[in-house]
Amino acid sequence: MNNFSIFMRGIVKENPVLILLLGLCPALAVSTQAENALGMGIATTFVLVCSNLAISLLRNVIPDKVRIPCYIVLISGFVTLVQMIVEAYAYTLYQALGIFLPLIATNCVIFGRAEVFANKNNAFKSLLDAIGMGAGFTLALLLIASVREIFGSGTWFGIEIPILISNNIPILTLAPGGFVVFGFLVAVVNKFSKTGTRNEFGCKGCPQAKACGKGGTLS
């Protein structure tokens, strides 16, 4: 696979949110406003890039039996760093993201790329993979948040939209509205995608396949 394909895969073919259906908790929780979604996407991308690089560079040093605890320590360190940066320089965003900012440490997108890609490839390819996956995650969050904010609040990035400001659908800013928008977008993506989600990322490619009893035999 060439470098361009590695980069684009996370944006299109294996979008973490709309195709792989990973990281859905922050995707739905912070996507009530486009500004918050963009902030979460950038923070997650930063952690993803740093962790992929670190794990790729240390993949021959980290013992296989303790690789998961090592991943946790590395990822948690980068999450703490980004949390401190956001708190210091974007306190409003820090308050808006709340608990979901430190919970980036448990984001399955980051752990998935560490185990599936960074642990098996060189630093440059791991960097491209992280940027692509981070961009795909950010774009998906921004798309969901834009739909919810525009039609739910009548604004976009806090800017009022004349027609919709007084004719909005408030339920879209609540949890049920988030699920409705997310389900609709996934349906649209599946409709126009040449390959379905399970064909792109099934049990065979899942690092947790053995743990759930599938044994990596299904696709």
Euclidean distance between CA atoms 22 and 3, whole angstroms = 23
Residue found under tokens 């774009």: 139
pTM (2 d.p.) = 0.85
Q: Where are the domains of the chain?
A: 3-212
Euclidean distance between CA atoms 118 and 218, whole angstroms = 23
Give 212's pLDDT tier (boundaries 50, 70, 90).
low
pLDDT of residue 42: 96
**Interval 43-78: pLDDT, tens:** 999 999 999 999 999 999 998 889 999 999 999 999
